[in-house]
């Protein structure tokens, strides 16, 4: 049985056993935490940007929050796709997701930053704030997971 904690991560009653179960729990908890924290951070940035800059601030911060929160789900998705592979491949996918997320957000900033309807600073600050907070939420989710190290119960190593 599992339950939600106040950070949006899932706290399971028992430890995760085996790599596949660990990765599934970890990626699910990371995705939930990143979505929750990204949404809250985006809303705060949208309110501040709208008050400070009006509609261009609203559009810039709204687009920045949407892009950054959406890209935060890239790492857990890549981890899920590599569940059946070796642990090194899962770690590479996790790092690749972080690097790809940073590159995508920089590309979005440089391509969309010049749009006349968007306030460039609101876009940039929201992208950065959501990137940092969702990455911290993913790390928090990883630290909350209970892992049982050893052979899987159904393995033939017994």
pLDDT for 19 equals 73
Confidence of residue 37 (pLDDT cuts 50, 70, 90): very high
Closest by Cα among 105, 137, 154 to 26:
137
The predicted structure's pLDDT at residue 36 = 93
Pair of tokens at residue 92: 């590479």
Report how far residue 98's alpha carbon sits from residue 106's, in angstroms, rounded to the nearest whole number: 13
Residue-wise pLDDT for 65-98, tens only, equals 999 999 988 888 888 888 888 888 888 888 888 8
Q: Which residues neighbour 24 within 8 Å (Cβ) at sequence distance 6 or greater?
A: 80, 83
Q: For strands 2-4 and 10-12, give the pairing.
A: antiparallel
pTM listed for this prediction: 0.77
Q: What is the pLDDT of residues 110-143, one digit of tens each?
A: 888 788 888 999 999 999 999 999 989 988 887 7
User: Domain locations in the chain?
Assistant: 17-143
């Amino acid at each position: 049985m599992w339950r939600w904690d106040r950070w949006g991560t899932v706290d399971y009653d028992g430890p995760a056993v085996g790599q596949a179960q660990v990765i599934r729990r970890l990626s699910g908890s990371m995705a939930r935490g990143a979505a929750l924290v990204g949404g809250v951070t985006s809303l705060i940035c949208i309110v501040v940007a709208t008050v400070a800059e009006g509609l261009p601030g609203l559009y810039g911060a709204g687009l920045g929050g949407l892009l950054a929160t959406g890209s935060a789900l890239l790492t857990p998705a890549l981890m899920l796709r590599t569940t059946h592979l070796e642990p090194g491949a899962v770690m590479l996918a996790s790092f690749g997701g972080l690097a790809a997320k940073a590159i995508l957000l920089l590309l979005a900033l440089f391509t969309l930053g010049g749009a006349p309807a968007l306030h460039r600073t609101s876009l940039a600050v929201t992208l950065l704030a959501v990137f940092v907070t969702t990455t911290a939420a993913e790390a928090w989710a990883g630290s909350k997971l209970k892992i049982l190290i050893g052979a899987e119960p159904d393995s033939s190593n017994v």
